[in-house]
Homo-oligomer: A and B are copies of this chain.
Amino acid sequence: MRLSIEVHLDYAFPEPADVLLQVEAAALADQWLEEQALTIRSDHPIRAVTGEEGIGQRCWARGEHRLIADYRAVVRIARPAVDLAVLPATPVAQLPPSTIPYLMPSRYCESDRLEHWARRRFAGLSGGALALALAAWVEAHLDYGWTDGSGRTGALETFAQRRGVCRDYAHLLVALARAMEIPARCVAAYAPGVDPPDFHAVAELWLDGAWHLIDATGMARADELVRVAVGRDATDIAFMTIFGTATLLAQRVAVMRLPEQERDVDPAR
């Protein structure tokens, strides 16, 4: 799978503010950057820093009056399909220490509040079968759409409202997984089938020794997702964190499938 990604951001700043951008596709073993360029029009130097868990990168910019950023990339994804259903459960006491923060409730994934319900509802399931049941439950029980508090809602509220956008789907799946003792994190991603086209958010669950991407909205398969960043919830994976206030002027995200490049061109010639 090859994807072309184009992002255009244009924000106005009533007062100067530091801005942390996180829009670049991460270079990882299962997704390679064929090309990429991030252009930020600014009088201030831009500084890149590694993302959380060493995945992807963030960059610091300075919003003064106006901040315009353009990002273009071509990414090749080579992520083998995994049959999650057969993956065994890992007892919590055998989890690697690095996964333990992803068992904890976080601001938008209040897993502690959903634990009592989840344990009764999904009793008897574990490992990959449990993960798939959680994802299927979220997809079946939520309606896709904005709610009046969108951008501030957490899993608890989404569980009651039964409506939300991609971040809400991801938060709820992550919270349910944590409530069931499966480490789970949120992933900012690009994917071709997102409608309307936008930044995307999905979940990643730790099963049988590895992280596995799951899009609870059903919009994207695991092999179509380009990871940008990972973290505990929307706070960590925001494409833009503004230390101050800003006004959106324009924002566009376009992700398109590209034809597979002709590699292995006839060696006989």
Contact surface of A with B, Cβ cutoff 8 Å = 18, 20, 45, 47, 49-52, 58, 60, 62, 92-97, 100-101, 103-107, 110, 113-117, 119-120, 143, 148-149, 151-152, 156-157, 159-163, 181, 231, 235-236, 241, 243-245
Contact = CB atoms under 8 A, between A and B. Distances in A.
B149 A156 contact: no
B117 A161 contact: yes
B161 A113 contact: yes
B152 A149 contact: yes
Nearest to A145: B245
The SS class assigned to the A binding surface is mixed
Contact of A93 (B47, B149, B152, B157): B47
A115 B47 contact: no
A151 B112 CA distance: 13
Given A113-B160, A117-B161, A117-B162, A49 B100 contact: yes
13 contacts: A20-B100, A58-B100, A60-B92, A62-B93, A101-B231, A104-B236, A106-B107, A110-B160, A115-B243, A120-B162, A159-B159, A160-B160, A181-B243
